[in-house]
Chain A
Amino acid sequence: MSIHLQREIDNLKRDLMLICSIVEEQVQKAVRALFARDAELAHEVQAMDEDVDRREILLEEECLKTLALHQPVAINLRQLIAALKINNDLERIGDLAVNIARKAVDLASAVTVEIPADFLDMSEQTQAMLRKSLDALVQMDVALARDVCICDDEVDRLKKKIRGQIEGQIRDDPERTGSMLRLLSVSRNLERIADCAVNIAEDVIYMVDGRIVRHQTD
């Protein structure tokens, strides 16, 4: 393999990791803004999204350029394809974090609503999944990536539970329906972030093993 290609891939990897760190921070800040009712922090998350979008496009262009220029094969090809897909997922996660931040702004200005206790669990689970999937990406660790896929069920279960709780609260106190619906949307966003984390983990498995493990029920 040419040294040039290796250098390109190293650079791409570094840029991807940068996007990872920004997106991870976005999610953390969005969740913190939600719980702390901190509108300022939420605005910060929204501001960060511009950077993510710009970097996403740059990375995609670099990936395509490398593909066209070096015509890599085997592991290098898989790395580039996975980088493209992960890049996409990361940008999506960033958008979801921005969604959560918007809801956090709304909720911060609204009347205090009690955030169901499971919300903290769910957000922690989701963040842990994201962290794990990114760690798996850095370390090329298939075992860790598989772990992420398993965690997804727990997040889905929590989401269902939270949905039930929110429905109950709306019945008890219809005046807070707006806030409750916002919370419901936050839970949906969190669940989607978890799904994106699973996608990243699956791409990691693909990158290392060359096997596509999507849509498998084992």
Chain B
Amino acid sequence: MRRRRLFWQLYPATLLIALAALAVVALDTTSSLRRFYLDRTAEGLESRAHLVEDQIVPLLVAGKYAEIDSLCKELGRRSSTRLTVILPSGKVVGDSLEAPQEMDNHGQRPEVIDALDEGKGHSLRYSQTLHETLSYVAVPVRSQDKTLGVVRAAVSLAVIDSALWGVRKHILFASLLIAVVLAVASLVIARRIVGPLEQLSHNAEGLARGDLGRRLVAANSKEVGDLAETLNKMAADLEDKLATVVRQRNERDAILSGMVEGVLAIDAEERVLSMNSAAARLLGVDSARAEGRSLPEIIRNIDLHKLVAAVLSTHQPAESEVEIRDREPRFLHAYATVLRGAAGGRPGALLVIHDVTNVKRLESVRRDFVANVSHELKTPVTSIQGYVETLLDGAMNDAAQREKFLKIVAKHTERLHAILEDLLTLARVEQEGEKRDLLVREPLRPVLEAALGDCEAKVAEKRMRVALTCPAELMAALNASLLEQAVVNLLDNAVAYSAEGESIEVECIEGEREIEIRVRDHGCGIAREHLPRIFERFYRVDKSRSRESGGTGLGLAIVKHIVQLHGGRTAVESAPGQGSTFSIFLPK
């Protein structure tokens, strides 16, 4: 519905009422004025007729009609009145304007009839004689109870009207003036009523748009002022409540974003209601883009979806392991419960997500370690056992066989020893890590030179060359014996996996925050899928070959442990056939 403005409801109505009242008053005044004027005229005419009556009586008695006529003409001229003398028979004997002989019988004129019957007659009518409207008053002329005739006095209404017109003009003029004043006055009044309301509604619109700081001005009238105050109070309340809501939301967001666990709220349509930053990070999605979208849209993971679908359909809590196959695969443990009342209507689901990647990896590392260590130890022990039994069964009597078997036993014992040695080293490194004053600030070069010296025999055996590039002044916080062990392990590997005659480069590079010790060989290289796990204990790239080459499978694990004790990290770059580069990064 189109609503009219209050001003246009108020202003024309008041103006119309005022003008109508004015018009009624003006019309009433003029009409009663006219009536009053006519009455006065009639009274004047009557008295004039009576005046004439006295003069006429003797003439009528005498029957001097000519004189009556001339008297009429004389008196009529002097009093600007039409005077007529009529006999009871209706015959006109004198008239101030016309010749009586030419006039018709006036016996049937209403005023004459009235005068004869009632002693006085008055009528307003059109004169056939003069062709204009006249006011007639007729009185009978009596003498000794005998009606001699009728004297009639008349005045033209045109004269009265012209006199009245002047008055009417005055009244009209005054009315117009009052009308104009009224129009202006009611305009002002309407504006004064509507103005504050408009202002109020304008300000209230501001409030509605959310500009809650805005306050309404109390208008001069009580009602509008009260309304403004009520609205102000409402705005203040609203502002308060909003501030509370915002504060609570900020608190909630702060709590949620401070959590390590991912929290994800989903409605019944599987749309994401909200998620905290941990959930966004764990699931690898952009939380700003996620809200309001459906879960399959933001993360394509069938396990997660199945979990959510199960909770949404059964309304029972459920949990499941979810694997996120991103650039860095993550294992998540998701626990889902029913979320009631968050979005109204049907319940949604609330997911709490833990990152169990590390737990999983540790689990698999430990399992692998136990399996590997028993396998690694078992292989030489089984061999030793077999050969010793063979010897005892009689082979020890054969000198040639005895020596061959004992040599094999010796080799496996050596290997067993090497593994135990490495395991002890590993244990020692782990223990060393608990010491406080482990690291000393020392030049790096002597450590590397010592490591090269340790490997000299093996290098010479394969006719290889090792090039060392290290600035003598380079210092680092290190534990000389442990770091030497780490570099020796890397060099051992480099030698073992290179062909004869190849070269090895050991370099030290000073970076901005780290010192890199780089050991590069030109050997067979390592396939990419092995690289992430190569520093794990007993992890072998090629299960058969490395054991023959004398490795225990613990070398790189020891390196990693030592470097971790130094607060550094290890890295490897390699491609099959293109050699490998192992790097140790020590913090400066």
Known A20-B300, A139-B289: A13·B325 in contact at CB below 8 Å: no
A120→B576 CA distance, assembly (Å): 13
- Judging by beta carbons under 8 Å apart, are A117 and B294 in contact? no
Within 8 A of B (CB), among A56-84: none
Known A28-B325, A117-B576: A21·B294 in contact at CB below 8 Å: no
Q: Which residues of A contact B293 (CB under 8 A)?
A: 138
- Judging by beta carbons under 8 Å apart, are B527 and A117 in contact? yes
- Judging by beta carbons under 8 Å apart, are B302 and A10 in contact? no
Which of B270, B294, B305, B576 has the most CB atoms of chain A within a 10 A radius of its CB?
Answer: B294
Q: Which residues of A contact B575 (CB under 8 A)?
A: 117
As a 0/1 sequence over residues 284 to 300 of chain B, the CB contacts with chain A under 8 angstroms (1 = contact) are 00000100011011111
- Judging by beta carbons under 8 Å apart, are B296 and A20 in contact? yes
- Judging by beta carbons under 8 Å apart, are B297 and A17 in contact? yes
**Cross-interface CB contact of B302 among A14, A25, A120, A138, cutoff 8 Å:** A25
Number of A-B contacts (CB under 8 A): 42
**Cross-interface CB contact of A14 among B289, B296, B528, cutoff 8 Å:** B296
As a 0/1 sequence over residues 235 to 275 of chain B, the CB contacts with chain A under 8 angstroms (1 = contact) are 00000000000000000000000000000000001100000
- Judging by beta carbons under 8 Å apart, are A21 and B527 in contact? no
**Cross-interface CB contact of B270 among A14, A20, A138, cutoff 8 Å:** A14
Indicate whether B461 reaches chain A with its CB closer than 8 angstroms: no
A21→B302 CA distance, assembly (Å): 6
- Judging by beta carbons under 8 Å apart, are A18 and B296 in contact? yes
A70→B575 CA distance, assembly (Å): 57
Indicate whether B30 reaches chain A with its CB closer than 8 angstroms: no
A24→B305 CA distance, assembly (Å): 14
A10→B299 CA distance, assembly (Å): 16
Indicate whether A22 reaches chain B with its CB closer than 8 angstroms: yes
- Judging by beta carbons under 8 Å apart, are B300 and A13 in contact? no
Q: Which residues of A contact B325 (CB under 8 A)?
A: 25, 28
A13→B269 CA distance, assembly (Å): 12
Q: Which residues of A contact B203 (CB under 8 A)?
A: none
A14→B293 CA distance, assembly (Å): 9
- Judging by beta carbons under 8 Å apart, are B294 and A13 in contact? yes
- Judging by beta carbons under 8 Å apart, are A138 and B576 in contact? no
Q: How large is the interface on B (under 10, 10 to 19, 20 to 34, 35 or more residues)?
A: 10 to 19
Which B residue sits closest to A48, measured CB to CB?
B302
Indicate whether B301 reaches chain A with its CB closer than 8 angstroms: yes
A138→B412 CA distance, assembly (Å): 60
A35→B269 CA distance, assembly (Å): 38
Known A117-B575, A117-B576: A17·B300 in contact at CB below 8 Å: yes
Indicate whether B529 reaches chain A with its CB closer than 8 angstroms: yes
Count residues on chain A whose CB falls below 8 Å from chain B CBs: 17
Tell me the smallest distance from the CB of A119 to a CB of chain B, in Å.
11
Within 8 A of B (CB), among A10-32: 10, 13-14, 17-18, 20-22, 24-25, 28
Q: Which residues of B contact A183 (CB under 8 A)?
A: none
A21→B307 CA distance, assembly (Å): 14
A218→B289 CA distance, assembly (Å): 32
Which A residue sits closest to B289, measured CB to CB?
A139
- Judging by beta carbons under 8 Å apart, are B529 and A35 in contact? yes
Known A18-B302, A21-B300, A28-B325: A10·B528 in contact at CB below 8 Å: no
Which of B296, B301, B305 has the most CB atoms of chain A within a 10 A radius of its CB?
Answer: B296
Q: Which residues of B contact A35 (CB under 8 A)?
A: 529
Which B residue sits closest to A28, measured CB to CB?
B325
A101→B192 CA distance, assembly (Å): 86
Tell me the smallest distance from the CB of A90 to a CB of chain B, in Å.
11
Which of B293, B297, B298, B299 has the most CB atoms of chain A within a 10 A radius of its CB?
Answer: B297
- Judging by beta carbons under 8 Å apart, are B301 and A21 in contact? yes
Indicate whether A96 reaches chain B with its CB closer than 8 angstroms: no
- Judging by beta carbons under 8 Å apart, are A10 and B269 in contact? yes
Q: Which residues of A contact B305 (CB under 8 A)?
A: 18, 21
Q: Which residues of A contact B297 (CB under 8 A)?
A: 13-14, 17, 138
A138→B575 CA distance, assembly (Å): 36
Indicate whether A134 reaches chain B with its CB closer than 8 angstroms: yes
Tell me the smallest distance from the CB of B313 to a CB of chain A, in Å.
14
Within 8 A of A (CB), among B437-463: none
Tell me the smallest distance from the CB of B202 to a CB of chain A, in Å.
35
Which of A18, A24, A28, A35 has the most CB atoms of chain B within a 10 A radius of its CB?
Answer: A18
Tell me the smallest distance from the CB of A87 to a CB of chain B, in Å.
14
As a 0/1 sequence over residues 389 to 420 of chain B, the CB contacts with chain A under 8 angstroms (1 = contact) are 00000000000000000000000000000000
Tell me the smallest distance from the CB of B302 to a CB of chain A, in Å.
5
Which B residue sits closest to A25, measured CB to CB?
B302
A17→B272 CA distance, assembly (Å): 14
Which A residue sits closest to B296, measured CB to CB?
A17
As a 0/1 sequence over residues 304 to 326 of chain B, the CB contacts with chain A under 8 angstroms (1 = contact) are 01000000000000000000010
- Judging by beta carbons under 8 Å apart, are A21 and B529 in contact? no
A17→B297 CA distance, assembly (Å): 6
A134→B297 CA distance, assembly (Å): 9
Which A residue sits closest to B299, measured CB to CB?
A21
A25→B212 CA distance, assembly (Å): 52
A68→B270 CA distance, assembly (Å): 26
Q: Which residues of B contact A14 (CB under 8 A)?
A: 270, 294, 296-297
A13→B300 CA distance, assembly (Å): 12
Q: Which residues of B contact A134 (CB under 8 A)?
A: 300
Tell me the smallest distance from the CB of A101 to a CB of chain B, in Å.
16
Tell me the smallest distance from the CB of B426 to a CB of chain A, in Å.
28
List 6 other contacts, CB 8 Å, given A17-B300, A21-B296: A17-B294, A18-B302, A22-B302, A25-B301, A120-B528, A138-B297
> Could you name 14 residue pairs across A and B whose Cβ atoms are closer than 8 Å?
A10-B294, A14-B296, A14-B297, A17-B296, A18-B302, A21-B299, A21-B301, A21-B302, A25-B300, A25-B302, A117-B527, A120-B529, A138-B293, A139-B289
Spell out A's residues near B (CB within 8 Å): 10, 13-14, 17-18, 20-22, 24-25, 28, 35, 117, 120, 134, 138-139
Closest 10 CB pairs of A and B: A17-B296, A21-B300, A14-B294, A21-B302, A138-B297, A18-B296, A22-B302, A17-B297, A28-B325, A20-B300
